[in-house]
Amino acid sequence: MKPFTLPQLAYAYDALSPFIDKETMTIHHQRHHQAYIDNLNTALEQTAETNPDLDSLLQRVSEYSPAVRNNGGGHYNHSLFWEILSPQPKLQPEGKLNDAIISTFGGLEELKAEMKKTGLAQFGSGWVWLYVKFNGSVAVSSTPNQDNPMMDILSMNRGFPILGIDVWEHAYYLNYQNKRADYLDAFWSVLDWSSVEKKYEEALAKVRS
């Protein structure tokens, strides 16, 4: 089996400061994400998988052990998280995604408020998602631990993630301590909507196929 590896960041660990500090980024990427990858590779050695595709694996994750679910989710979620962040982000959505946000939520500020409310309501560790439902519409939800909307263990709120906010304490505690609300507000200053728009188009292609 070809093992999964830690993706390289497209920016330096200090590039997102002061919104996300260098020490948090370094520990988050090198230790937490690497641990999920190491544990996923170990868990997959106990399966018949020879060249697993991560998206496909998560969409049928009910067939695998909790270790694959937790660590496969951890690898996927963090990989998406790094990709949508940028030190020089596009701060406003445009085009079809912006139209969908306006139609569903009323506008960008309303989406931010909904994701903040959902993030604050997530008890314990987890993620907040903007995702494309299987009918092509967009929605917001949260998941515990390292679950995400692609996983077939969910009975509702399923689809393809295009924006995820990590609300595990390791994502923000060094800089924001217990002030999750402040972290959720700061997140938007480094979110690159151009990356989210690309993921939106990819998700629409999947639901239409």
16 has pLDDT over 90? yes
Residue 10 in domain: no
Percent of the chain past pLDDT 90, that is, above it, reads 95
Residue 101 in domain: yes
Q: What is the mean pLDDT of the chain?
A: 96
Residue 151 in domain: yes
Return the minimum-mean-pLDDT range out of 15-29, 39-53, 127-141.
Answer: 39-53
Helix, strand or coil, per DSSP, at residue 141 = strand
| Mean pLDDT of all residues in 105-132 | 98
Is 99 marked as a binding-site residue?
no
Residue 9 in domain: no
Is 78 marked as a binding-site residue?
yes
Distance between CA atoms of residues 183 and 26, nearest Å: 17
| Mean pLDDT of all residues in 122-139 | 97
pLDDT of residue 87: 98
48 has pLDDT over 90? no
Residue 153 in domain: yes
Domain that holds residue 172: 21-209
Residue 205 in domain: yes
Residue 15 in domain: no
1 has pLDDT over 70? no
Counting Cα atoms < 13 Å in the Cβ hemisphere of 163 gives 26
Domain CATH for 99? 3.55.40.20
Is 28 marked as a binding-site residue?
yes
Number of domains in the chain: 1
70 has pLDDT over 70? yes
pLDDT of residue 50: 83
Residue-wise pLDDT tens digits, 150-202: 999 999 999 999 999 999 999 999 999 999 999 999 999 999 999 999 999 99
| Mean pLDDT of all residues in 104-112 | 98
Residue 73 in domain: yes
Sheet containing 138-144, strands listed edge to edge, beginning at the edge strand earlier in sequence: 138-144, 126-133, 159-166
Instruction: Return the DSSP state at 51.
Output: S
* Contact (Cβ atoms closer than 8 angstroms) between residue 132 and residue 203: yes
